[in-house]
Amino acid sequence: MPSHSVRPTDVSLHQRRRPPTASELLGIPWLVQLKPAERLQAEQQLTVGEAFPGDYVCRLGKPVTYWFGVVEGLLKMSTDNAQGQTMTFTGVPPGGWFGEGTAMKREPYRYNIQALRKSVVAGLPVDSFHWLLDHSIGFNRFVMNQLNERLGQFIAAREIDRLTNPDVRVARSLAALFNPVLYPGVGDILRITQQELAYLVGLSRQRVNEALAALQDQGCIRIEYGGLRVLDLVALRSSLFLSKNGL
């Protein structure tokens, strides 16, 4: 598990916001879709803040104020059911932006977004989000692609929830985190610990470790220091390695 800085208990994430650095702006994928004047407008409105483990970026029932994205780190999207149990929908790795549907409708959040590790989170004010929708064709295309990919992601998440084979659950969950459209900042290596993956998949750390070992044996991934390298994304998505070996 990576080391974490001490969380300032008396300062909220919103109060810790600041302008993004030049390198942080490079980690925001939709900026390149904008025309120069649109980009200047967006960059003037963007803010970033450091979210510490356990910090909530947004909470169920709270009004939408920003459209958020991950510059670095790892967040999880979850909700609590009537019995008080937490249901995790997905992780959000670097390059991922979320909540565009909520921002478009200006509705309260229907989920929690929480930091699993120290993360740099960017936010675009919801009024600026709507300004870009009204003025930028490139931004509209990006948001439409996001919504389309997100629909497929949540359909897949429902399928994963019904899977009884833990190895398939881990494989499909990993494949979702390597989505190049939703998470362009990940590339071929996902910086994640086995404990963080266990939180996202809903399995024990030991069981996740066993599944990762099986995936590595089949040539789908390679376990590296501080993360995982994908070698065969198609096999992860379809779980071909399992059917070939009768698992």
pLDDT digits (tens, 9 = 90+) for 119-174: 999 999 999 999 999 999 999 999 999 998 887 776 666 666 666 688 888 988 88
C-alpha span between 37 and 31 (Å, rounded): 11
How many whole angstroms separate alpha carbon 93 and alpha carbon 207?
22
The CATH code of the domain at 164-244 is 1.10.10.10
Helix (H, G, I), strand (E, B) or coil at 68: strand
Domain limits of the chain?
22-157, 164-244
The tens digit of pLDDT for each residue in 83-119 reads 666 777 788 999 999 999 999 999 999 999 999 999 9
Residue 154 near residue 146 (C-beta atoms within 8 A): no
Whole-angstrom distance, CA of residue 1 vs CA of residue 235:
27
Cα torsion 62, 66, 68, 73: sign: negative
CATH architecture of 22-157: Sandwich (2.60)
State pTM to two decimals. Answer: 0.82
Helix segments in 46-187, DSSP class H: 100-105, 126-135, 137-161, 166-177
Q: What is the pLDDT of residues 200-240, one digit of tens each?
A: 888 899 999 999 999 999 999 999 988 899 998 888 887 54
Burial 69-90 (b: 16+ CB within 10 A, else e): bbbbbbbbbbeeeeeeeeebbb
